[in-house]
Structure 1
Amino acid sequence: MITTTTQTPVHTDVAIVGAGILGLAHACAFAQRGLRVTVFERSGTPVGASIRNFGMVLVTGQPPGAMHALAQASRKIWLDWAAGAALHVRRSGSLMFARSAAEAQVMEAFAATRAEGAGYDTALLSRAALDDLYDGRFRKHRAALHGRADLQVFSREAVPALIDYLRRRFNADFRFGTLVQNVDDGRIETTAGPWRAEHVVVCAGHDYLSLLAPQLAALAPRVCRLQMLRVRPATPFALDHAVLTGLSCLHYGAFSDLPEAAALHAEVAAREPALLEHGIHLLASPTPGGDLIVGDSHDYGDDPSPFNAQAIDELLLGLAENTLGSTLQVVERWQGVYGARTGTSGAPFSVLRAAPNVTGVYMHSGVGMSIGPALGERVVSHLIDGAALPTA
């Protein structure tokens, strides 16, 4: 005979599912309003997209309008967090280098039209100006776009530091190693027993099956897998900017719809088709220890393949060595991963109201570090203050 026992749910004001950057952003926004916050994370420590990335808070790359505004607001939140949590933040911005005339033309068009008109804080560096940059290391490139508003953090240290800050500053309760099995209105069933909350926010990354599955299925979600490297220059140099190439003009909405981007796409398709085939556009982020995080490629599917291709790593490494002007030693390899969508929707995120007090917030692009802090603040402002939900 099977017997069941009924446990009295533990009460909290707010239950957050997921301790990635979106979960932490919501937790902070709720806690700043004086609410008691409990964060549930199924793993013993964060291991998802929020620590596998470049740590770029890329304001410059976001398309004009709502996404650019979210990135600008997120930048301010990151700086506030840096002051409270003693985060290591690079504030020198990003440098996007033009390897070809076509790449330079996209940057020049952006600087001449969109940059000032849409409020981007950028400066176009001429070929001559590169002679004085890092002792001429980048002088072979045609030009560079300096994204002065961009920040960079070291994600694998920043996320734990934010968790510690929320514990110390707001007495937030973190329940690691605890799987949330169901959310039913205000009741949360977990492997550590039942809880009840006035607000439940699910920020479960690319887990589309455990919670809110029917609502997520309607979005036709997918997963994007990225090959990533941590490398060490043969001759160390003190890089203080995040580095991109003009290939990123094909990836980021601030540039990709400019007429000049079509000519760049045609050039890359003719000369470097493997880069388009694997969705490669170079990003390189310096770490506090002097190494560089290099990537990335893009492979979309229902489940991320566990197998990395050596050929893709070699493409990434070759592109990085050519751009940085240095031989690079690979010291670590891993897979990045984030949620995406199929179909015609280009929406970078979704906010799902599954029940009056259950909300799901999901990223469908790799810009969670860039817009996540402000997205969390605005969702909480909607839930508590009645403000409009954010849209992209």
Structure 2
Amino acid sequence: MNSLFPYDVMVIGAGAAGLMCAALASGRGKRVVVLDHSDQPGRKILISGGGKCNFTNRTVTPAQYLSANPHYATSALKRYGPADFLDLMKRYRIAFHEREHGQLFCDNSAADIVSMLMSECGAGGVEMVLDAKIGAVTGDGPFRAATSRGTYEAAALVVATGGLSVPKIGATGFAHTLAGRYGLAVVAPRPGLVPLTFTGADLDLMRDLAGIAIPAEVTFGKTKFREAVLFTHRGLSGPAILQISSYWLTGQSITLNLLPDLDVQARLLERKAQRPNAQVETIVGELLPARLARALVERAGLLGRPIGQSTNAALAGLARLLSQWPLVPAGSEGYRTAEVTLGGVDTAGLSSKTMAAKSHPGLFFVGEAVDVAGWLGGYNFQWAWSSGWVAGMSV
């Protein structure tokens, strides 16, 4: 295929946002071509949620998204929300279930979502060009894309190539580079929803505790999440850590509360009066896994000591460690394990009503390519559906 093929809409990226956009645009009678370097569509959909795809959340508001412009996502989320996507799934009779915190997953397989989107694209006559290495993109309506499978031309271009997270499936900074070529600013990208790493004594401790998972509350500044925390050989992971990682800033500390529902100091003083001969680690072991209890009591300098022989000041120090443990991460595990890319194409240069570049009306950016990143729990897929839908209705 070496000749020029004119289309109304060219979508680069056959992921969640790109397929949604292509389906909507073709349903409106537009001639659409989708280009992707992968040999299969929806690869990130397929691996998400343990293969079950956490495709949205019962409760979606702009408050669950991070962006330099916190209001940017409002319009798209209102125009196409979780209920709208559920209506689409019900039409295809895709069974789903709800887990904690309103997270919605497929009963069967994430492949059902991809099949549904491909069917929608097929109904509209979308041409799918896969395994196509994308080269130079030029023009300004019409736009031209040179690929390993020929050159394609369209009046409108939708960039839906995602961000830098999960490079093993081919994630690149293509969208950011292309935005720069068209004079659009890019908010510096960084990994989000990612495990945090540590060094020194903190890392030694966490390695000793690797495999322990407990419900806890993690705080950074005024932001806090209460979910599971997992100790690993590199540091900390688990839903609460992934959530806070999107807010954490390099060099600053997070606070870990291992017993958020308990006045720990009061409990220790109570046990001191009731069971003075019990060792401190035994008392703490009633509240936390034994290995974790022992390690933190040792860090507080009270290991092997009867609680009745421990000063109130020492017990207060232990209580602070258990409920206000300050930790300074050395970094994160990076894009390799990040579930989303923070930053991206600056929304100041995009229309929130159409996803089009203000300076180039035929150029659209959707999904993770844009400086909008959601919490863990289906919010990023909902942004893909919402932004793809808006662009598909606007091209």
The TM-score normalised by the length of structure 2 is 0.51
| CA separation of 1:87 and 1:357: change in aligned 2, threshold 3 A | same
From 356, 360, 369, the equivalent of 2:365 is 360
Task: Assess if the C-alpha contact under 8 Å between 1:12 and 1:36 holds in 2.
Answer: yes
The answer to whether 1:281 aligns with 2:293 is no
> Does 1:162 pair with 2:116?
yes
Q: Which residue of 2 aligns with 1:128?
A: none
Which position in structure 2 is the counterpart of 1:174? 128
1:92-147 per-residue CA deviation (whole Å, 9 max, x = no partner) reads: x4434xxxxxxxxxxxxxxxxxxxxxxxxxxxxxxxxxxxxxxxxxxxxxxxxxx4
Does the alignment pair 1:83 with 2:90?
Answer: yes
Amino acid paired to 2:128: F
1: CA distance between counterparts of 2:360 and 2:343? 23
Change (3 A) 1:58 1:246: farther
The 1:158–1:346 alpha-carbon spacing in structure 2 relative to 1, beyond 3 Å, is farther
CA deviations over 1:19-62 (Å, ceiling 9, x no partner): 11110121122122111211111111146543332233124264
Kept in 1: contact 2:189–2:343 (CA 8 A): yes
State the identity %.
17
Match of 2:382 in 1: 370
Give, as a single letter, the amino acid of the residue that structure 1 aligns with 2:392: V
| Structure 2 spans left out of the alignment, 5+ residues | 64-70, 164-171, 196-214, 249-288, 290-335
CA contact (8 A) 1:30 1:380 kept: yes
CA distance in 1, matches of 2:153, 2:33: 10
1:88–1:282 CA distance, 2 compared to 1 (3 A): farther
Aligned twin of 1:194: 151
1:219 CA drift (Å): 1.8
Instruction: Indicate conservation of the 8 Å contact 2:342/2:373, yes or no.
Output: yes
Query: Cα–Cα, structure 1 residues 163 and 61, in superposed 2: closer, same or farther, change >3 Å?
Result: closer
Q: 1:74 aligns with which of 81, 91, 95?
A: 81
Q: Given residue 75 of structure 1, which amino acid in structure 2 is its aligned partner?
A: P
CA distance in 1: counterparts of 2:373 and 2:356, whole angstroms = 16
**Distance in 2 between the 1:69 and 1:357 partners?**
19
Letter in 2 for 1:195: Y
Letter of the 1:169 counterpart = A
Cα separation, 2, equivalents of 1:22 and 1:88:
21
How many residues align? The count is 250
State the match for 1:34 in structure 2. Answer: 29
Amino acid at match of 1:368: N
Change (3 A) 1:163 1:10: same
Give the conservation status (yes or no) of the 8 Å contact 1:17–1:23. Answer: yes
Residue type of the partner of 2:24? Answer: A
By how many angstroms is 1:78 displaced?
1.7
Deviates more, 1:71-80 or 1:166-175: 71-80
Q: Label 1:68 to 1:335 Cα distance change in 2 as closer, same or farther (>3 A).
A: same
Q: Secondary structure of the residue that 2:239 maps to in structure 1? A: coil
Stretches of structure 1 lacking an aligned partner (at least 5 in a row): 1-5, 97-146, 228-244, 284-294, 302-321, 323-333, 385-392
Is the partner of 2:119 in helix, strand or coil? helix
Q: What's 1:211 paired with?
A: 178
- 1:300, 1:48 → 2: CA distance? 27
For 1:251-274, what per-residue CA distance to the aligned partner results, in whole angstroms no more than 9, with x for missing partners?
Answer: 9xxxx96xxx66x78xx9xx9796
Tell me the distance in 1 between the aligned counterparts of 2:104 and 2:246: 26
Tell me whether 1:19 sits opposite 2:18 in the alignment. Answer: no
Indicate the larger mover: 20-29 or 57-66. Answer: 57-66
Q: Offset at 1:213?
A: 4.2
Q: Give the 3-state SS of the residue equivalent to 2:132 in structure 1.
A: coil
Contact conserved, 1:180 with 1:188, CA < 8 A, in 2?
Answer: yes
Relative to structure 1, is the Cα distance of residues 346 and 158 closer, same or farther in structure 2, using a 3 angstrom cutoff? farther
Query: How far, CA to CA, are the matches of 2:127 and 2:93 in structure 1?
Result: 20
Which one has the largest radius of gyration?
2
Residue number among 89, 99, 105 corresponding to 1:152 in the alignment: 105
Q: Which shows bigger deviation, 65-74 or 200-209?
A: 65-74
